[in-house]
Chains A and B, each alone.
Chain A
Amino acid sequence: MCTMIAITTEVHGVGKGRDGWFPITQSTVGYDHATHSQNEHALLLDFVNYSIGTGARVAVELDIASGKALLAQLAEAIRQAEASGVSEGNPNESRSHRHGELVHSHSAA
């Protein structure tokens, strides 16, 4: 059946697609008809950048158990990253922030 389940989020990162690395701007996680896996339905993970084109896409199809395992992996990796004290956010936002500080500093001088 067509479940029409799809959750879309803005994300920041890069992905490796058919033409090499490209910036990722959006992720969609769905559960619907699989395109290539042997199951009728699959968790459908798409990392895309539609400003480049529909082909700017990294696609993954997983079964539900694998999705749950991935969810636990992500949660644990993020927990460890944040506990390590070296977790980082969006590098573009950081650069903007640094530029802002620099301008502010420059203005104050």
Chain B
Amino acid sequence: MWNSFNTDAQVGVHAEITTFTGGNGDTIHAYVASPVTDGKRGGIVLIHHLPGWDEFYQEMAERLARHGYDVICPDLYCRYGHGTPDDVTAKVRADGGVHDDSVVADAAAALAWLKALPTNNGKVGIIGSCSGGRHSMLVASLVPGFSAVVDLWGGGVVAAADQLTPARPVAPIDYTAQLDLPILGLFGNDDQGPSPEAVDIHEAELKKHGKNYEFHRYDGAGHGFFYYQAPLYRQEQAMDGWAKVFQFFSDNLSA
């Protein structure tokens, strides 16, 4: 839980940008964050949102590491060049968005990177928000080896045929049958994407296939209610949501 450390405990995080071997054998950047403490622990692949590999995600990595996990957040836009996050994102947007296959390959490589750490306890989760929530569900469906997935208001998990694009050719809901891990979903009831109706459809599909899932839907919140850098931020819902995330990872990523 947030703000529940012992004041005489050793608490600290080491975090930095590094490179690792991503999908297709490409060397790409990642933001990695780890607790300074020794011992075995779970790992988390953090999938950034459509607005890019940005400072919010660096701080999110640090927050997760502060709570006891080795975290890697791959720069999914690395192959588009470098610059400020919004400039790089503009280029990705003009190109139609990063391809799902590229994201899945980089996430699989990030999973392998975490599992090779001497501190890894054999458990790795995956989490992302917005497009990163959708990508997390997609990766969890297609890449074996994850122990838990968190979808933070991922838009496009449910998608009609005319909403599919060359870069996003399949709706992740179509892979529900092959999901084989605990799922946590957090959503705002004022969100238009995913709308409450889309979340209903997603939940019905999970139920139909007997999946182990936990959805929480917040009144008074829309899209991106964790984003303290934007007017979307909702303090009460965000703090409750973070508590749900910490509890879920504690339940599923402990040895």
Contacts and interface: CB of A to CB of B under 8 A. Distances in A.
A6 B90 CA distance: 10
Contact of B91 (A3, A4, A38, A48): A48
A2 B131 contact: yes
Contacts of B235: none
A35 B155 contact: no
A33 B86 contact: no
B91 A33 contact: no
A12 B95 CA distance: 19
A53 B83 contact: yes
A51 to B, nearest CB: 11
A48 B168 CA distance: 25
A35 B231 CA distance: 11
A28 B97 CA distance: 13
B83 A6 contact: no
Interface in B54-95: 80-84, 86-91, 93-94
Contacts of B232: 40
B223 A40 contact: yes
Interface in A1-51: 1-4, 6, 8, 26, 28, 30, 32-33, 35-36, 38, 40, 44, 46, 48, 50
B93 A30 contact: yes
Contacts of B28: none
Interface in B153-207: 155-156, 165, 167-168, 191-194
Contacts of B81: 50, 53-54
Contact of B50 (A8, A33, A46): A33
B50 A32 contact: yes
A35 B165 contact: no
Nearest to B83: A54
Contacts of A100: none
B170 to A, nearest CB: 14
Contacts of A38: 231
Given A1-B191, A54-B82, A54-B83, A40 B94 contact: no
Given A35-B51, A35-B86, A2 B130 contact: yes
B46 to A, nearest CB: 17
B97 A1 contact: no
B130 A40 contact: no
A34 B201 CA distance: 27
B96 interface: yes
B35 interface: no
Contacts of B224: 40
Interface in B99-140: 130-131, 134
A55 B156 CA distance: 30
Which of B49, B83, B167 has most chain A Cβ within 10 Å?
B83
A6 B96 contact: yes
A4 B168 contact: yes
B186 to A, nearest CB: 15
B51 A28 contact: no
Contact of A44 (B93, B134, B165): B93
Interface of B: 49-51, 80-84, 86-91, 93-94, 96-97, 130-131, 134, 155-156, 165, 167-168, 191-194, 222-224, 230-232
Given A1-B191, A2-B156, A3-B193, 15 more contacts: A1-B130, A1-B192, A4-B165, A28-B90, A28-B93, A28-B94, A36-B86, A40-B222, A44-B90, A48-B91, A48-B94, A54-B84, A54-B90, A55-B83, A55-B87
